[in-house]
């Protein structure tokens, strides 16, 4: 997957927001976290989820920007870091890097209707040949569109639909 959910990490974040008038606001978040962990075969999501410490003492950096109204919200995000452990990997002790970026949009009509879409892509290094340490970069991207319509408020029943695709 591009980035399995739920994705959790340890680090620090900061957020700034400002209203720009007429129910329109903008928010910016920046963060430094442990980031994704990897091996010669690429990103290892099990190791990433199970570790409370960074495997290389180099934080991943990321940012997210959102803008919109209470009904229509646009967002974009970017994160980059090193996935290889301290000392690198392979015969040449190579550092392997990754970057994840995406864009999303959400439309809400009161608490009755929600339509949401997101596109995301991850580019990550891996070593494909040992002992030569031939390095390549994987490109994985995908998107989803989902919606939810409240059918019966008293019984909390909604109609939900989702379509997603990954390349």
Instruction: Identify the pLDDT of residue 79.
Output: 97
What mean pLDDT is predicted for residues 120-133? 84
Confidence check: pLDDT of 8 > 80: no
What mean pLDDT is predicted for residues 10-34? 94
Instruction: Name residues whose C-beta falls within 8 Å of residue 55's C-beta, 6 or more positions apart in sequence.
Output: 34, 37, 47, 83, 84, 85, 86
State the residue for tokens 């390095």: 135
Confidence label for 130 from pLDDT (cuts 50, 70 and 90): low
What mean pLDDT is predicted for residues 39-63? 85
Averaged confidence pLDDT in the chain: 91
What mean pLDDT is predicted for residues 54-67? 93
Dihedral angle computed from the Cα positions of residues 86, 89, 94 and 99, in that order, rounded to the nearest 10 degrees: -80
Residues facing residue 25 across a β-bridge: 19, 68
**102 vs 40, more confident:** 102
Instruction: Identify the pLDDT of residue 51.
Output: 66
Instruction: Identify the pLDDT of residue 166.
Output: 93
């Amino acid at each position: 997957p591009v980035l399995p959910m739920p994705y959790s990490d340890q680090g620090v974040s900061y957020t700034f927001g400002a209203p720009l008038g007429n129910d329109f606001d903008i928010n910016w978040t920046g963060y430094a976290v442990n980031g994704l962990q990897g091996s010669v075969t690429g990103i290892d999501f099990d190791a990433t989820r199970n570790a409370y410490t960074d495997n290389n003492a180099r934080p991943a950096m990321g940012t997210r920007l959102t803008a919109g109204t209470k009904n229509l919200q646009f967002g974009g995000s970017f994160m980059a870091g090193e996935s290889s452990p301290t000392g690198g990997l392979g015969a040449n002790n190579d550092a392997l890097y990754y970057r994840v970026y995406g864009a999303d949009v959400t439309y809400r009509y009161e608490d009755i209707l929600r339509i949401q879409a997101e596109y995301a892509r991850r580019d990550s290094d891996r070593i494909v040949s040992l002992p030569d340490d031939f390095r390549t970069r994987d490109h994985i991207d995908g998107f989803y569109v989902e919606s939810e319509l409240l059918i019966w408020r008293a019984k909390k029943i909604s109609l939900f639909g989702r379509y997603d695709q990954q390349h």
